[in-house]
Amino acid sequence: MTVPSSALPELTPAQRTEVELVARGKQEKSRTLRDLAQPETPEAAHALLLRLGLWDEARTPYADRLGATLQPVTLEVSDFPEEERLDLTHLDSYAIDDEGNRDPDDAVGIEALDGGLTRLWVHVADVAALAPAGSPLDEEARSRGATLYLPDRTIGMLPDALVERTGLGLTEITPALSISLDLNEEGNAEAVDVQLTRVRVTRLTYTQAQERLEAGEEPFVTLARLARASRELREAEGALSIDLPEVRVKADAGGATVTPLPKPEMRAVVQECMTLAGWAAAIYADDHGLPLPFATQDAPTRDVQGDTLGAHWARRKTLARTRFQPAPGPHHGMGLDLYAQATSPMRRYLDLVVHQQLRAHLTGAEPLSGKAVAARVAQAQMNADTTRQAERLSRKHHTLRFVAAQPEREWDAVVVERRGPQATLLIPDLALDLPLSTPVPVGTALKVRLTDVNLPALTVRARVVGG
């Protein structure tokens, strides 16, 4: 039941507070909602607040409902300790990210070796130097699990001051934890290593790096060649190729925008380098008996062939969830015998644990036990799941704001799945999927209009046009 606009009540301050608590998921019961014959649900409370003009459409309650922390970390950040580091400032290194990125935590470079080998360097911000295991910063990051990226703001799992101090390329010379792989022409690694270093990093966008690759500049040409060879080797071991649309969602009080992300080759190159770094870190830890939060994944439930959107959609659904455990195991989706996420220690807590363990080994400190790593995995994973869910719901909310602002627009869509009379429709320009009753087969391209946007319920309807 909907309260008619002609009968909208005026809430007292106490009633408004009560309804807002329900909308934020902080209270289950509401006499005000009952008196208005409204369901006592967060969605109904949200809808009422919108109709009364007490909240605007820019307000997103999902992180609050889920218990994700929205306050920035304000803990004190120390200086880097005085310690011996390998000086790599003579090598060119590049932190390549999306435009507007504010937390550059990885960079890549190469070094020519004798015998036709190429040393791939992946430098990572040495966050663990300032947030060691058991420190207040470590405990705060663990309680959050990951940085929270919302369309209208970012809430770091670590203080902005730490990001500014450790981010690669934010100062002329930066301390780093650097992972190296000595690769032959076929992309096989003949040696891996991890060292504490000093690096000089240049920041580039993917577009800028792609332009330099297309101009034939080094090290971009060699990086692309190594990445292609590595990808081929992993695919031969069963790595899955999943290529689905990605978008950037940005929002403020004035509106929201959804922009499809371009996929230049350099984006895949950097991703492959990060994958190699995670593999090398896992090998190094295994060789030295270091327990890490190793990332493992079971084999796909079935084999899906093809390169269509429907095939990529189906292939993603065959993947089991990645598990983290103190002992190594295969990661079938990546085609690797062992793997650890190691390149985002200022964004993901378990990456920070990887760095804490590697750093302990390098400095002669006592690393965490396997039992302690497992406990951190359990806590951080639960908190990171909350963060990811809050991100997903907030992105959908602002995507629907973007849709509602252009009701006459026709969107290209593709049927990617069918279950009886119900189909799943994917709109690539929005990276949005929604149900549609249609008899057409998977792979059919359609033009649709999106109507009946309901922000509190996060729903929208698709109506086929033309044809």
pLDDT given at position 7:
64
Q: For residue 42, name the pLDDT band (cuts at 50, 70, 90).
A: very high
| The pLDDT value given to residue 1 | 39
**304-327 confidence digits (pLDDT tens):** 999 999 999 999 999 999 999 999
Mean pLDDT, rounded, for 367-371: 97
Instruction: Output the pLDDT for position 295.
Output: 97
Q: Is the pLDDT of residue 4 over 60?
A: no
% of the chain beyond a pLDDT of 90: 93
What is the pLDDT at residue 467? 56
Q: Over range 22-33, report the average pLDDT.
A: 95
**Is the pLDDT confidence value at 3 over 60?**
no
Task: Give the residue-averaged pLDDT of 355-361.
Answer: 98
**Both structure tokens of 18:** 């009560």
pLDDT in tens, 262-290: 999 999 999 999 999 999 999 999 999 99
Write down the pLDDT at residue 9.
81
pLDDT band at 24 (very low <50, low <70, confident <90, very high): very high
* pLDDT given for residue 375 in this prediction: 96
Split at pLDDT 50, 70, 90, the class of 370 is very high
Side-chain-side CA neighbours of residue 151 (13 Å) = 29
- In this predicted structure, what is the pLDDT of residue 165? 95
- pLDDT for residue 297 is more than 60: yes
Which of these, 103, 110, 107, 111, lies nearest to 94 by C-alpha position?
107
Q: How confident is the model at residue 185 (pLDDT cuts 50, 70, 90)?
A: confident
What domains does the chain contain, in order, with CATH numbers?
A: 5-55 (1.10.10.10), 86-398 (no CATH), 406-465 (2.40.50.140)
Burial of 202 (0-12, 13-18, 19+ CB in 10 A): middle
pLDDT at 188 over 80: yes
pLDDT of the residue at 80 = 96
- pLDDT tens-digit map of 427-442: 999 999 999 999 999 9
Alpha carbon distance 47, 399 (integer Å): 18
Q: Given this model, what pLDDT does residue 148 score? A: 96
User: Exposed, middle or buried, 375 (CB in 10 Å: 0-12/13-18/19+)?
Assistant: middle
pTM of the model: 0.94
Name the pLDDT band for 426 (thresholds 50, 70, 90). very high
Per residue in 196-251, pLDDT (tens digit) is 999 999 999 999 999 999 999 999 999 999 999 999 999 999 999 899 999 999 99
- pLDDT > 80? residue 459: yes
Query: One-letter amino acid identity for 459?
Result: T
pLDDT digits (tens, 9 = 90+) for 70-121: 999 999 999 999 999 999 999 999 999 988 788 899 999 999 999 989 999 9
